[in-house]
A and B are shown apart, each in its own frame.
Chain A
């Protein structure tokens, strides 16, 4: 029989930190930031959860609840590398592995006994990557996802479609994927508190309360889903490219928010060019100190992938919101409606070949020396970015090029013919 196994690593970031430094085993480890910063908790170890520390909580609140905890900012490279190793180990069971996030994957595998399969996967991960995982096993991808949280940590649940009424319906409605606090509150107002209540709700009730989401919620509550395990080589291309950043302090000045936008638009543009796509919609996301969040976007006549274009549009969107007056806590920029770039692209009337060449040179430098090699002076002066320690700051012009230099790597050759700045 074909089974879908949802592999969910237990307290992933914290477990990776405890594996890296075994002296942290048994201690309350909180990954996300250190006290005194405005970060949020990415993951808390089970020892920290005993003190009420939860993912998404502010570090300040986590510190109040667990002042003796070990707080750490986290190491993205370590988590991503470990994640790749986990997925590689899962591929020893089957090539049909779909990474769902850095610490989750779906595995589609043929087996006679699902419990034996689950035990083999868990013990293999214990032995190879030395990390604990909880498993949800089902003949449905959605039910596998839902059931993996039933027995954590290092647990395993088998939930077949035919067992939904007995095993899933008595549970509270928020065990369903996609049902958060707001939806739960709305459902409770309707007297629907368990999954079974939702599955058996009279026709029209869910639709009136939740719109189109209502019908899909009813299907999920009945264990009906259209999800399929999709390994990366079968997955459709990305639908959007975005970056967001939670600020160290609220920003009340438009210029300060624009500086952050400059930084984020550079990251978005660079990723778009890396994947040879451009976006026809730019969306600005802003959050104030009371966690009110807005997303404001615009569809463009022509797709953009240039940092300056994305930045210009993002600034216009910002100007339309006047959101900085409320104090900005989080800024995000997303490029959507992606189209492939390259040969045959439509040129606009204001196309500037010099700016495009300058952008290409900037990309060359960044690809060679890293994200911090070229930073707009405005971002550098902002202080927050300065702590990211850019190697060098200078202005590039369209006629500047990157020239190989023996023993040094490369230097920037200015259009006028003399080298002004040397890269590290």
Chain B
């Protein structure tokens, strides 16, 4: 597993209090999310962060992190290249 920690553009759906990413762009490629395998939250101080472990349609594994404070998305880890 490789640590990335890079900002990424994510298309996500906010629906009835739930957040679900379904597509993101990284390294000039667009990745379509086939399945969110895990979702969890933590806090850094008072700021909430939502984590998503996802499998793409190409069967690659990524972890995305959404910062509620400023609506930033970070690609935190991936199995690509590991």
Contacts and interface: CB of A to CB of B under 8 A. Distances in A.
Contacts of A283: none
Contacts of B41: 77, 81
Given A16-B38, A77-B40, A77-B51, A23 B46 contact: no
A205 interface: no
Interface string B32-52: 000001111111111000010
Contacts of A370: 43-45
Nearest to A18: B37
A368 B46 CA distance: 5
Contacts of A81: 39-42
Nearest to A77: B42
A367 interface: yes
A184 interface: no
A368 B55 CA distance: 33
Looking at chain B's contact residues, is the secondary structure mostly helix, strand, loop, or mixed? strand
Nearest to A82: B40
A252 interface: no
Contact of A78 (B46, B51, B55): B51
Contacts of A20: 37-38, 53
Contact of A21 (B37, B43, B44, B51): B37
B40 A21 contact: no
B3 interface: no
B79 to A, nearest CB: 7
Contacts of B39: 81
Interface string A360-385: 00000011111001000000000000
Contacts of B46: 367-369
A19 interface: yes
B37 to A, nearest CB: 5
- A-B pairs with the 3 shortest C-beta distances? A81-B40, A77-B42, A369-B45
